Structure 1
Amino acid sequence: MATSKQVGGDHYAIMNIQPIEFILANQLGFCEGNVIKYLCRYKRKNGLEDLKKARQYLDFLIERESR
């Protein structure tokens, strides 16, 4: 299974449910998936930088829904 091998750290592998499993199971789009991914990993990987990335993708979604 692809989720049993993680390239570049263990910040997802230690989770009970990996973000990719949640994203695929719920058929989330690119922006929604990235929000989930960055929120799930920020404490163990890039901290504030990941929160800013999550916010950017959330802003993309807000802008799209505001049209």
Structure 2
Amino acid sequence: MTDPLKDALNAFFPSDPVHHPSHYTAGPPCPGCGRPIECIDITRTMDFCLGNVVKYAWRARLKGHPIEDLEKARQYLDFEIERLKEES
């Protein structure tokens, strides 16, 4: 089954596997410009581990391996928790 919204977005914003991969451009439209919000728009200013938590959670249902991506997100969350414990 195809998704008409996804098809329309792909027509206007074609996937670029390096700069704009489809599994990161499937976000909601930006209220200001209408362009789909990309994962990197959210994560670019985060610490590495937290950015990876968001990245893997964001794409969990978009790449065909949701459990694996959520396990990766959990692993990076554990890394961040350990880092914060070591700092305090």
Range into which the TM-score falls when normalised by the shorter chain: 0.7 to 0.9
Describe the superposition over 1:5-49 as per-residue Cα deviations: whole angstroms up to 9, x where unpaired: 53185211221221101112xx20111110000000101112100
Q: Which has the higher contact order (CA 8 A, sep 6+)?
A: 1
Structure 1 position 66 matched with structure 2 position 85 = yes
What is the letter of the counterpart of residue 54 of structure 1? A
What is the total number of aligned residue pairs between the two structures?
A: 62
Q: Tell me, which stretches of 5 or more residues in structure 2 are unaligned?
A: 1-13, 29-36
TM-score (norm 1): 0.78
Q: Which residue of 2 aligns with 1:55?
A: 74
Question: Runs ≥4 in structure 1, deviation > 6 angstroms?
Answer: none
TM-score w.r.t. length of structure 2: 0.62
What is aligned with 1:6? 16
Counterpart residue number, 1:43: 61
The percent of aligned pairs where both chains have the same amino acid is 44
Could you say which structure has the higher helix fraction?
A: 1
